[in-house]
Amino acid sequence: MKTLSQYTIKRIMSETKRVTIQDIAKRADVSISTVSRVLNNSAAVGEAHRQAVEEAVAALDYRPNIFAKGLAGGVSMTIGILTQNISSPLYDAILYHVLQGIRDSGYSAIIADGQWHPDESRQSLQSLLERQVDGVIIIGGNNEEAHLIELAGAMPMVFVGRHIEGYEHLCICIDEYTGGYMATQHLLDRGHRQIAHIMGIATHPDAIARRHGYECALRDASIEPQAAWVVEGQFTQSSGVLAMEMLLTQGQTFSAVFAANDQMAYGARLALFRRHIRVPDDISIIGYDDQPHSGFTIPPLTTMRQPTDVIGRTATAAILDLLKGNPVATKPLTVDLIVRESVGRIYR
Amino acid sequence: MKTLSQYTIKRIMSETKRVTIQDIAKRADVSISTVSRVLNNSAAVGEAHRQAVEEAVAALDYRPNIFAKGLAGGVSMTIGILTQNISSPLYDAILYHVLQGIRDSGYSAIIADGQWHPDESRQSLQSLLERQVDGVIIIGGNNEEAHLIELAGAMPMVFVGRHIEGYEHLCICIDEYTGGYMATQHLLDRGHRQIAHIMGIATHPDAIARRHGYECALRDASIEPQAAWVVEGQFTQSSGVLAMEMLLTQGQTFSAVFAANDQMAYGARLALFRRHIRVPDDISIIGYDDQPHSGFTIPPLTTMRQPTDVIGRTATAAILDLLKGNPVATKPLTVDLIVRESVGRIYR
DNA sequence: TTCTGGTGTGAAAGCGTTTTCTGAAAAAAC
DNA sequence: GTTTTTTCAGAAAACGCTTTCACACCAGAA
């Protein structure tokens, strides 16, 4: 039983016939230590030898055995990625760009899924560490901060979309407050004065920051935010439907809604559709994230764009730098307003 | 420079202070060979010794070092997953369920992205093999078949959404033909007689099968398929917009459209919106895949649901069985019609 | 009793690297 | 020209595990 698969694996491996450091040592007529040294640039090597080795490496198409490397050197050439949830459009988009950046770095990525759950996240992170990943990129997520801090001091690690006290330079953060402010400001600019807000998960830092931006924008326009204008959602489409229904049945009067993410905006829009309320003619909607789909909703959704490509690239660059021992410093990223057709004008 | 990160890694590793097979050998008062044997069940071991070892393993919370294991045994405890494209909602949904299935198996997953490109796919697959993954799950993708066949004979491998000649038992396939047929049939059932089709990438097997189903359903209803009714898209939203515009400007008359995936359906729907053509009052749309978003479009999209959960679970179960040396046999999966609100009735 | 044939076990040889440790040769200092 | 450093390179010891080999033990057969 077990032996069968063992056998099979052995077979393909022997077919592949890996070339080892021994082979290139022989061909370059040096010792394996020397080969290792030129490979890793870990000590001075005479120019003649170095060239001989490099020639052999190229000629034999040598690829180091990562297991041996891992065993001997404690280096796995692997970057662990902990994502908040695979199949969340936003995180996947970031993931995509991260993977992109890693692909030619010699490292490979191993992905673990936190499933939106602290316990799962912690366990996933643990399994990443057991695999002896050389570094970790944490995308979103809700691990206990204390655990992360402990780790961050001990191994290369970068955080995406999250603020960790004392490790700001490792955090690739979006200025969510300003994002919320800008979204609300856009509504204000178009003449709206009564603006509802569908908030994200109430404990989620991003949700809090966006709401804060919303309230400040309102105040700066001399409008006192009303508690009844904001209703909490779960960042999902169906919670958007519910939220909008709640707003409507409570008899709130408002001409525009700022949804804390696009998915909830979709849901809100559907709730409006059900009641034959037109968008943007009767009520305007603005979302947040600019998911790929948002350009194709009816009507196309005005929203705040997360620079997923920049986020992904920055995260990769940072972890790679960390791995090389270079210092890193990240700067906060900003969100762009994407004006489409879901926000109407109000003239007094 | 380099030494810094090395140092850091060493540090955390020494803090963690791994317990090795030596430690449990000592505690159980047996040789390491015996420990290895009970761990892998690779040879008969006396009952007393076995128990002692198991006790020690539990007490010391022993976790094998995968690098050592990989080096010595040629087994990496890693499953490679090659996905056609990360951040494609359908494949991500499958991926999600695959990951789910792997999470408690002791294996971990390493994900590579084919980027919709044969060369990329091949290279990604290669890098998976270099990592000595124990098995591979290929989700969709467009690698050369020959290469895959060669590999499939040599190592555990399962294919999702793809038919490989001679390895049908390793293919987790959806009956796309029937899916296309059912979608068209639904339109027919609702009285539509003039039905256009927005096809996927013309060379893609799924696209071909769905179109074939469409044509057969038409013929079975005594309607001769018109070449002008089908226009090719790229499986993307914007290609859906284009396709619908082409249909419209060519002056085709049709009361319904079958789009080969939901994304193109979204695009088609937007094109209609632009021309003030109502859905489903003027024209009906049916999609394919049932992406998470489709329940929240305006109007909610009638579509064919891919059983991503079943697909994912089946794939995982299959690869795990293969790895254990058990025989596997997969059965073709079917797609379900999800009736929502984008298809209207026509009464004669 | 002696021989044969399992069983269960430990010693030891790898697996492919990195990294001391050592020594020789070359360069610098006297 | 000798002594003292510095450079460079090879031998060999890890790294933690699997697996072969050899051997001791004990049953059953002769």
Residue B71 covered by a domain: no
Shared domain for B157 and B128, answered yes or no, is: yes
Q: Where would I find the H helices in chain A?
A: 2-16, 21-28, 32-40, 47-60, 66-73, 89-102, 118-130, 145-154, 176-189, 205-220, 237-249, 262-274, 308-324
Rounded to 5 degrees, what angle do the CA atoms A263, A264, A267 make? 95
Q: pLDDT tens-digit profile of B239-270?
A: 999 999 999 999 889 999 999 999 999 999 99
State the CB neighbour count (10 A cutoff) for residue A251: 7
Q: Which helix (H) or strand (E) holds A195?
A: strand A195-199
Shared domain for B280 and B187, answered yes or no, is: yes
Residue A6 has pLDDT above 60, yes or no: no
CA distance B316 to B313: 5
Residue A229 gets which letter from DSSP?
G
Across the interface, do A109 and B109 touch by the CB < 8 Å criterion?
A: no
pLDDT at A222: 97
Q: Provide the residue range defining the domain that includes A207.
A: 176-305
Q: pLDDT tens-digit profile of B269-293?
A: 999 999 999 999 999 999 999 999 9
Residue A52 has pLDDT above 80, yes or no: yes
pLDDT at A13: 41
Shared domain for B167 and B93, answered yes or no, is: yes
CA distance A259 to B296: 15
Token readout for A67 is 């297991």
Residue A11 has pLDDT above 70, yes or no: no
pLDDT at A130: 80
Residue B268 covered by a domain: yes
Q: pLDDT tens-digit profile of A262-301?
A: 999 999 999 999 999 999 999 999 999 999 999 999 999 9
pLDDT at A143: 67
Residue A13 covered by a domain: yes
Residue A346 covered by a domain: no
In terms of Cα–Cα distance, which of A112, A108, A101 is closest to A138? A112
CA of residue B266 relative to chain centroid, distance:
22
Q: List Cα–Cα distances, A312 to A37, A97, B82, in angstroms.
A: 33, 5, 20
CATH number of residue A187's parent domain: 3.40.50.2300
Residues of chain A numbered 209-248 and touching chain B (CB < 8 Å): 237, 241
CA distance A153 to B218: 65
Residue A324 covered by a domain: yes
**Bridging pattern class, strands A256-259 and B230-232:** unpaired
Q: pLDDT tens-digit profile of B302-347?
A: 999 999 999 999 999 999 999 888 888 888 899 999 999 999 999 8
Across the interface, do A13 and B156 touch by the CB < 8 Å criterion?
A: no
Query: B296 CB near a chain A CB, below 8 Å?
Result: yes
Residue A1 has pLDDT above 70, yes or no: no
Shared domain for B227 and B298, answered yes or no, is: yes
Q: pLDDT tens-digit profile of A117-144?
A: 878 888 888 888 888 889 999 998 766 7
Q: Which of A13, A30, A64 is the last residue of a domain?
A: A64
CA distance A180 to A206: 10
Q: Which helix (H) or strand (E) holds A286?
A: strand A284-286
More confident residue, B301 or A106: B301
Q: pLDDT tens-digit profile of B17-49?
A: 678 999 999 999 999 999 999 999 888 889 999
Instruction: Report the DSSP beta bridge partners of residue A230.
Output: A197
Q: pLDDT tens-digit profile of A137-193?
A: 999 876 677 777 777 778 899 999 888 888 889 999 999 999 999 999 999 999 999
pLDDT at B12: 41
Work out how many domains chain A is built from and give that number.
Answer: 3
Residue A342 covered by a domain: no
Shared domain for A317 and A301, answered yes or no, is: no
Q: List Cα–Cα distances, B182 to A279, B288, B309, B339, in angstroms.
A: 34, 11, 21, 12
CB A23 within 8 A of CB A53: no
Collect all residues of chain A within an 8 Å Cβ-Cβ radius of residue B325.
1-5
Which one of A293, A321, A326, A328 makes the best mutation probe of the B interface by having the most chain B beta carbons within 10 Å?
A293
State the CB neighbour count (10 A cutoff) for residue A30: 21
Query: For chain B, what percent of residues have pLDDT higher than 90?
Result: 62
Which one of A17, A78, A87, A281 makes the best mutation probe of the B interface by having the most chain B beta carbons within 10 Å?
A87
Collect all residues of chain A within an 8 Å Cβ-Cβ radius of residue B99.
86, 111, 113
Q: Which helix (H) or strand (E) holds A158?
A: strand A157-160
> What is the phi/psi pair of residue A15, to 5°?
-60, -45
Shared domain for A87 and A121, answered yes or no, is: yes
Shared domain for B42 and B124, answered yes or no, is: no
CB A254 within 8 A of CB A196: yes
Residue B204 covered by a domain: yes
Mean pLDDT of A94-109: 89
Token readout for B301 is 């999209």
State the CB neighbour count (10 A cutoff) for residue B162: 23
- List Cβ neighbours of A303 (8 Å cut-off, separation of 6 or more): A183, A262, A265, A286, A287, A288, A289, A290, A294, A338, A340
Across the interface, do B71 and A71 touch by the CB < 8 Å criterion?
A: yes
pLDDT at B17: 67
Q: Which of A37, A64, A91 is the last residue of a domain?
A: A64
CATH number of residue B53's parent domain: 1.10.260.40
Instruction: Considering all nucleic acid strands, name the nucleotide whose C1' atom is nearest to the C-alpha of residue A31.
Output: D10
